[in-house]
Structure 1
Amino acid sequence: MPTAPNENSEHHAEEILAEDFLVCGLGRLGRECVAVLKAFGVHVIGVDISAAAGQDPSVSNLLDAFHAGDCSHADILKKAGIENCRSVLLVTSDERNNIAAAFIARSLNPRVRLIIRSAQENLNALLRQQLGNLVAFEPSQFSASAFALVSLSDQTQAFFEVEETKVRVGRSVVEDDEVRIIGRRVYELNNADRRILGVTTESEPVGDFLLAVNPDKEIAAGDVLTFFESGGRRPGDGALHATQGKREPGPTLATHFSSFRNGLNRLRRSIEAPRVAMISFAIMLVLSVATFLFYRWENPDISALDAVNIAIVLAIGGFDNVFGALKVPFPISDRLYAFSVLIHVCSTVFLGVVFATLTERLLSARLQITRRRPAAPASGHTIVIGMGAIGQRIAEILREWGQPTVGVSQEPVAEDVLTDMSIHFGPLPEALARANVETAKSVIAVLDDQVANLEVSLLARSLNTECTIVFRTADQELARNVASLVSCSTGLSDYAIAAEAIAGAAFGEYIISAFHLDDRSALVTEYDIHQGDTLIGRTLAEIAYGYGVAPIIHRRGDDKRFNPSDDIVLESGDALVVIATVDGLRRIEIGARATPEWRLAILSSPSEDARFEAANAISRISGCDLAQARSAMQRLPSRLEKPLYQQQGSRMTRELRKLLVMTRLEFEGDGRKQSGEPDSK
């Protein structure tokens, strides 16, 4: 990872901000990457094969420089100043162009970090070996899980695996009957497998500073708890309060009625196809009988067998067999001849219907034998509309989580794609009907056209008023307007989510996962601590509360800890995995650590032994020198010289309370002094 500058090392921060970031390809993804990088305050240069791309106001106002040309040409990269670039983001839609540009960029700047858009997993691994300092990605790998999670509507915000540990980020609303939670303090809900990220209200999202919650706050009904936890519980298994023994509701009468109605719909659709053929057959049968009667009535000399033969020949299109001769072998009136012509026309239509029905049935049977795909579930499933790269990845994730999933596509997909999943092709209204949209739990629309996504989402809502709708869009303002008018609908930009993960990777971090946390994106990021890193010597408390990130895993050698203690001091060779917003990563990048604004006043101690143990606890929790802690304990009453974050101070008072040491936590932010009550209990 790049060296994270100290909050006081302004010169180092300016040096970092002076480095250039080159974005090659200013399509949707490239524009999003530019916007995120500029939020970090860095110098961004754009390259695109089209000169018009640099004139787009949404990009030109953010770029510090723009060059028109093909990024796979060395002269264009030189002109863009690649020698001075810290990272190059190759995010054009042409994978070949991106890979070719990567080799040229590496030859021109051996130290530059390469970020390549490519879906070729095997090739990407080889590129990392040959070129080094390279990250290859496909946008759907970051955004697919976000679509899948929103569709479940079970308050799971993220589900990912780190260091063979499955981690779930959840969001739980405290109900009035949650007697085991209401009245408890925030710190009481934290344990070795779970930590509270924030306590808000339903109308208030989690802020950019994670863990910025008073640990002594009492939980009340209506509070929204955002947390992360370890374990194998998958999305859909319930939120925090589900562990308190709340029983899941069983099937209702409405559920049974819905299933019955769904069965009738399937029966109706199964007989709808041959209906036209059956009606045509009935009409032809009536006309054939009429033909027999009319010919026998007008020509009594014709035997019954001859009349039946004439009726059959005319019914199967044999008009010329009866009237092909110059003279008919029996008398026939003009009315009977006209009726015979009518029979011929009807038989032609009837035979066309029969052949079309048989062809449809044969083709359908052939496709079913080829695909061997299961039928759509009766109810409670998720429908993914659009089986492109992101649609397939969403379906894979949902199936990994045990959620029944059905695919819908206008065009057939390859036979080896999700072979054991129900996928329906054809016009979307008909395909949705075959996918049992009336009883689906949720619908995800990820077609390439955002207008088509909105259209099919509204169609799904008209067929199912209770399902959750998630649609892919590039216009977040449109998404907000749709959500305000269409209940249980969410619009997500896959490129916006991917761009934030890619921007994080451009700074040298390893982005493990990206997800949507309330109204912002969050990234799961791994930091490798190297010699000379200014994070060395910092406690996890200083990193967590100073930068507003949530440490989830700390690794030192073979020792790996989930939800690590705040007291751990980072050393060279450590690895730290955190959950952070993009702003949190930016704060670490430029060293913008929040100033601790609380002081610990130590009032009294019952004994020398208590003072000795208290000094150890103070040094461990605050990270201050042990001699400084002992000095404070020997001259009571006193104040600890080292300032603390509120979470540190609250924990310290609880630890000292066990030793019967009286303390008081005092706030000194902005020069104002606010004292809490002495903690003597």
Structure 2
Amino acid sequence: MPSSESNYQPVKDSQTKLDQFLVCGLGSLGQHCVAILKEYGAVVNAIDQEEPKNWQVPNLLDLLEQLLIGDCRQTSILEQANISQCRTILLVTGNERVNIEAAFAARLLNPQVRLVVRSDKQNLNELLSQNLGNFIAFEPNQISASGFAIAALGDENLGCFQLEGHQLRVVKHQIKASDQWSNKWRVCEMNTLYRRVLNHTNNPSYLPQEFHQWEPEARLQPGDIVIYLEVTEQLKAKQLNNQPKYNLQQLWQEIVLGRVYKNLKQKIAYLWQTSDRYQSLRVAIICGITVFFLWCFGTVIYSLNYPDTNIVEAFYGTAMLLLGGYGDLFGGINFKTPPELAERMPGWLRLFSLGLTVIGIGFVGVLYALLTNALLSSRFQFFNNYQPLMPKNNYVVLIGLNRVGQRVAALLQELKQPLVGISSTAVNADFINKIPLIIGNISDALGKVNLANTKSIVVVTDDDMENLEIALMAHVQSPTTHVVIRTYDRYFSDNVARLFPYAQVLCTSAISAEVFAAAAFGENILSVFHFDTKTILVVEYMIEAGDTLNELLLAEVAYGYGVVPILYQKSKRSPVKLMPTDHTRLAVGDRLIVLANSNSLQRIERGEIFPRTWQVQVEKVLAQDAIFDGANEISLISGCKMSTARKLMNNLPGQLPIALYKQQALYLVRRLSKLRVTAHLKPFAQDTE
């Protein structure tokens, strides 16, 4: 795909007036917001109480249309900043009260202006959104916490978020010789209803920074790097259960292909691994299943050997044996049989009865013991402070339990990741019993943790230099451990990342600024994560008349703007579709969620779409009915008129008169091949239009 801006094809009027934006507060976050807004091509004004002394963005004054020194809550200052002509005002000072008061003043002066506010008061933010309208609030610490949590997982995990009750994760996987994909699958074959390839390379040292820059027909080889998005297995099963339309043919295909057995096997394995954390529950499940099986089996045995005894009495008789009633049962109460018949009972049956009693006493005793232990444990835990045990290996060490640290800890717990917290100061009482904690001097605390067995070390204190110092100390003690460092200055972050390549450095302000800037253009940001050095946003669009996305195929949205559509909904009452097909056409009122970076969002905002550079040449059909089916497929995937597709299929060989994106064209060729139509790709010739 072309990557230079000279290849863009604007779909908006080039004479459209640039949007005006107002940024209030030029701290670290505000400066980064200005820089990113300028990348979108916006006109930016700014207000601050005083001229900043620390310029984290060089030549910031050159990026601003005007800088006003004053109180952004004052009407006169807002009027000087042309608030009446602003599309959006970003209120990102360090004082939440100032931000809220300035939002009120801005709304009175411009009822249509969009308010993007820095605030952590979630309930108030929701109420203001309902009453003011066109209002959205973020808290930088919450935005960055998810990035630190995902970075702490290391290994293959790049991102994790939820959509409509479904858990999705972004995975970076290096192909091994033992993988089922190795030397067998093409990259495009990894795309399924629950998985989308985001990137692929056969050079581990180089990974493209944009989506779709990979060859769909390339074979997966050992050593290749593949990054893909997938719906996790547990929620995949939930989604299948919620689908109302699942016909018999689909069910039969699932059974024939063995997918039902495979899914069931994976669910059982997952539950078994989960219960491994609770040994008593695991033992109770085994005992319960065993007793229930013996109960049913004994009932059948006695019913068959004593036809005059109904199944209910056999059922209760077996229960008596399992509860230790061997003497009671054979002392006179004998399945409606005379006492003398008990003596003539086959030896194997009496031995079986004795076995039931012995096994039943053992297993029922275990169940009683587990129940007693659970009751006593819960009682002691209620009256005593419970301190979780220190994990033995593969855990995360989280240093700094401030607001960001506690949020990171909560996210890691949701992801079932064992962790240990270290803090130099006291923490909230509510947080003490949630994870193992070490309170005190951080240098001493590092000596109490076996860093060699850790998965990663995350340092998120409120001091950049302290974070760096702690990270260096940790690296000395355990050179192979993954280290994640929190910083506030983008250039400090860049320098640290270059000097210490073993560390992953995340700048809170830079991450948050991309979210604030995207929200300034009216986008709804659902989540954020990192794609190597790029920040990736999960963005929701509601298609309106005049949008640059309106009436486009999802293939055109994906390959034209460099985003990945992951959810589509026709209307509010329609079911959502995860990983929607490329031939879906957008219309007014549709809802679309995509993965995008800042460059992609800028292209969508400006309507600068990559050109289509490939054409499909159709040679011949191998069956008469393929003419009709092939025309339908061409019209569906390419978006051309049905009459154009019919004309092409009736006059072969010929080429499709419209250009396509490479992945779109390759998909069409593969679909035609399945219909027994021979076709191939060729570069698009401009003079054919």
TM-score normalised per structure 2: 0.74
1:164 aligns with 2:165: yes
Can you list the C-alpha shifts for 1:138-187, whole angstroms capped at 9, x where unaligned? 11222112111122222111000012121111111112343532242111
Secondary structure of 2:213's aligned partner: coil
| TM-superposed deviation, 1:14 | 4.4
CA spacing shift, 1:628–1:80, aligned 2, 3 Å: same
1:468 aligns with 2:482: yes
Aligned to 2:470: 456
In 2, the alpha carbon distance for the partners of 1:55 and 1:420 equals 40
In 1, the alpha carbon distance for the partners of 2:421 and 2:687 equals 60
Identity %: 38
1:34 aligns with 2:50: no
- Contact 2:47-2:72 within 8 A present in 1 as well: yes
CA spacing shift, 1:233–1:581, aligned 2, 3 Å: farther
Aligned to 1:543: 557
Aligned to 1:560: 576
In 2, the alpha carbon distance for the partners of 1:664 and 1:566 equals 19
Aligned to 1:572: 588
1:206 aligns with 2:222: no
- Contact 2:200-2:207 within 8 A present in 1 as well: no
CA spacing shift, 1:199–1:448, aligned 2, 3 Å: same
- Contact 2:388-2:433 within 8 A present in 1 as well: no
In 2, the alpha carbon distance for the partners of 1:110 and 1:657 equals 57
Aligned to 2:318: none
| TM-superposed deviation, 1:466 | 2.8
1:664-675 equivalences under 5 Å are 664-668=680-684
In 2, the alpha carbon distance for the partners of 1:634 and 1:412 equals 79
- Whichever residue aligns with residue 48 of structure 1, its letter is D
Higher mean C-alpha deviation, range 650-659 or range 422-431: 422-431
In 2, the alpha carbon distance for the partners of 1:450 and 1:192 equals 43
Aligned to 2:601: 585
**Which residue among 667, 674, 677 is the counterpart of 1:661?**
677
Higher mean C-alpha deviation, range 657-666 or range 482-491: 482-491
In 2, the alpha carbon distance for the partners of 1:475 and 1:121 equals 27
| TM-superposed deviation, 1:486 | 4.3
- Whichever residue aligns with residue 584 of structure 1, its letter is S
1:108 aligns with 2:109: yes
- Contact 1:212-1:545 within 8 A present in 2 as well: no
Aligned to 2:188: 187
- Contact 2:659-2:684 within 8 A present in 1 as well: no
| TM-superposed deviation, 1:129 | 1.2
- Contact 1:370-1:415 within 8 A present in 2 as well: no
- Whichever residue aligns with residue 149 of structure 1, its letter is I
- Contact 1:525-1:577 within 8 A present in 2 as well: yes
Aligned to 2:177: 176
Aligned to 2:228: 227
| TM-superposed deviation, 1:27 | 0.6
Secondary structure of 1:379's aligned partner: coil
1:415-494 equivalences under 5 Å are 415-417=429-431, 419-437=433-451, 439-476=453-490, 478-479=492-493, 481-483=495-497, 486=500, 488-494=502-508
Secondary structure of 1:565's aligned partner: coil
Can you list the C-alpha shifts for 1:473-502, whole angstroms capped at 9, x where unaligned? 234555455455546321111111111111
In 2, the alpha carbon distance for the partners of 1:633 and 1:507 equals 44
In 2, the alpha carbon distance for the partners of 1:77 and 1:423 equals 48
Aligned to 2:359: none
In 1, the alpha carbon distance for the partners of 2:634 and 2:75 equals 58
In 2, the alpha carbon distance for the partners of 1:199 and 1:460 equals 33
In 2, the alpha carbon distance for the partners of 1:418 and 1:538 equals 52
**Which residue among 520, 530, 536 is the counterpart of 1:516?**
530
Aligned to 2:127: 126
Aligned to 2:628: 612
Aligned to 1:335: none
- Whichever residue aligns with residue 126 of structure 1, its letter is L
- Contact 1:142-1:515 within 8 A present in 2 as well: no
Aligned to 1:197: 198
- Contact 2:482-2:503 within 8 A present in 1 as well: yes
CA spacing shift, 1:485–1:395, aligned 2, 3 Å: same
Q: How many residues align?
A: 535
In 2, the alpha carbon distance for the partners of 1:93 and 1:114 equals 16
| TM-superposed deviation, 1:462 | 2.2
- Whichever residue aligns with residue 78 of structure 1, its letter is E
Aligned to 1:646: 662
- Contact 1:528-1:573 within 8 A present in 2 as well: yes
1:94 aligns with 2:86: no
1:375-386 equivalences under 5 Å are 375-386=389-400
- Contact 2:142-2:407 within 8 A present in 1 as well: yes
In 1, the alpha carbon distance for the partners of 2:642 and 2:230 equals 33
In 2, the alpha carbon distance for the partners of 1:53 and 1:190 equals 51
- Contact 1:48-1:68 within 8 A present in 2 as well: yes
CA spacing shift, 1:55–1:451, aligned 2, 3 Å: closer
Can you list the C-alpha shifts for 1:502-556, whole angstroms capped at 9, x where unaligned? 1111110100011110111110000001244342221101111111100001011
| TM-superposed deviation, 1:661 | 1.8
CA spacing shift, 1:197–1:652, aligned 2, 3 Å: same
In 2, the alpha carbon distance for the partners of 1:128 and 1:606 equals 60
In 2, the alpha carbon distance for the partners of 1:669 and 1:418 equals 68
* Unaligned 5+ runs, structure 2: 1-7, 236-262, 270-382
Higher mean C-alpha deviation, range 375-384 or range 214-223: 375-384
| TM-superposed deviation, 1:378 | 3.5
Secondary structure of 2:550's aligned partner: coil
In 2, the alpha carbon distance for the partners of 1:424 and 1:417 equals 12
| TM-superposed deviation, 1:370 | 9.3
Aligned-residue RMSD, C-alpha: 2.6
| TM-superposed deviation, 1:374 | 3.0
- Whichever residue aligns with residue 569 of structure 2, its letter is R
* Unaligned 5+ runs, structure 1: 1-5, 235-242, 249-368, 674-681
- Whichever residue aligns with residue 184 of structure 1, its letter is W
In 1, the alpha carbon distance for the partners of 2:652 and 2:460 equals 66
Can you list the C-alpha shifts for 1:7-66, whole angstroms capped at 9, x where unaligned? 54442x542x61111111111111111111111111111111112459874421322211
In 2, the alpha carbon distance for the partners of 1:155 and 1:528 equals 32
| TM-superposed deviation, 1:422 | 2.3
Secondary structure of 1:416's aligned partner: helix
